[in-house]
């Protein structure tokens, strides 16, 4: 079944996780509503050499080309685009993923703030009972971080730190990224083939 997934990129380290998630969702035939923060643009350039323009329409064009999205299933919305579908409970996505998620964004969501479209969309997801997945990229966590996570977890929000395993014998960074993205896709109920599961035969490294 085709889903509409809102993916928010914020300014934490871990941009490869978010972009790989978008890639796999689009490849699976799903619709993606992309939201992003200003700092996410800086992180995308620093970590991946990817220049995201300031205007959402230009970002949309760049990413549609990057992900070979000829069908136009990827839509990009601005940080204060309050008439965007995910800003209203009358037209929420099926699920939302904030990946990577800064501690500031997590704190704002925990407090019910809505100072940006990312925060508002997360607030809508919670109040409408839609799945919300946060991928917090920080270490170590302070007591404040953990208390905010606990508060959200008690509301049903999935807290999914990007902690890759090694039982699948990763050959490089791409395999470590795919391990985390696979766990996100599992939470979304999206089928994938991003690596063996526990109990399956590990691949031959020879």
Residue 154 lies in a domain: yes
- Does 13 show up as a binding residue in the annotation? yes
Mean pLDDT of the chain: 95
Q: Is residue 197 part of a domain?
A: no
7 to 32, 87, 138, 154: CA distances (angstroms): 7, 13, 19, 22
Q: Is 205 among the domain residues?
A: no
Question: What pTM was estimated for this model as a whole?
Answer: 0.95
What pLDDT is recorded for position 102?
Answer: 98
202 inside domain? no
For residue 193, is it within any domain?
Answer: no
Ligand-binding annotation for 31, yes or no, is: no
In a domain, 34, yes or no: yes
CATH number of the domain within which 93 lies? 3.40.50.1950
Confidence of residue 202 (pLDDT cuts 50, 70, 90): low
Determine whether the annotation assigns residue 104 to a binding site.
yes
Q: What is the average per-residue pLDDT within 124-149?
A: 98
Whether residue 55 is annotated as binding a ligand: the answer is no
Question: Is residue 4 marked as binding?
Answer: no
Q: What are the tens digits of pLDDT across the range 63-111?
A: 999 999 999 999 999 999 999 999 999 999 999 999 999 999 999 999 9
CB 93 within 8 A of CB 125: yes
Within a domain: 204: no
Identify the domain containing residue 151 by its residue range.
4-188
The number of distinct structural domains making up the chain is 1
90 annotated ligand binder: no
142 is in an annotated binding site: no
pLDDT of residue 204: 59
Confirm whether residue 12 is marked as ligand binding.
Answer: yes
């Amino acid at each position: 079944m085709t889903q509409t997934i809102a993916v928010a990129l914020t300014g934490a380290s871990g941009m490869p996780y978010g972009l790989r998630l978008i890639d796999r969702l689009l490849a699976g035939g799903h619709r993606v509503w992309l939201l992003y923060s200003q700092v996410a643009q800086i992180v995308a350039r620093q970590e991946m050499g990817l220049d995201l323009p300031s205007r959402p329409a230009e970002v949309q064009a760049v990413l549609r080309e990057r992900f070979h999205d000829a069908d136009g299933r990827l839509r990009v919305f601005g940080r204060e685009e309050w008439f965007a579908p995910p800003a209203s409970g009358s037209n929420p996505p099926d699920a939302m993923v904030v990946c990577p998620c800064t501690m500031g964004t997590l704190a704002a969501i925990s407090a019910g703030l809505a100072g940006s479209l990312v925060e508002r969309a997360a607030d809508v997801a919670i109040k409408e009972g839609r799945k919300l997945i946060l991928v917090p990229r920080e270490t170590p966590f302070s007591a404040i971080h953990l208390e905010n996570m606990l508060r959200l977890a008690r509301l049903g929000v999935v807290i999914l730190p990007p902690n890759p395993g090694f039982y699948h014998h990763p050959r490089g960074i791409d395999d470590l990224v795919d391990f985390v993205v696979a766990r996100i896709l599992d939470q979304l109920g999206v089928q994938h083939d991003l690596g063996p599961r526990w109990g399956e035969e590990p691949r031959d490294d020879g």
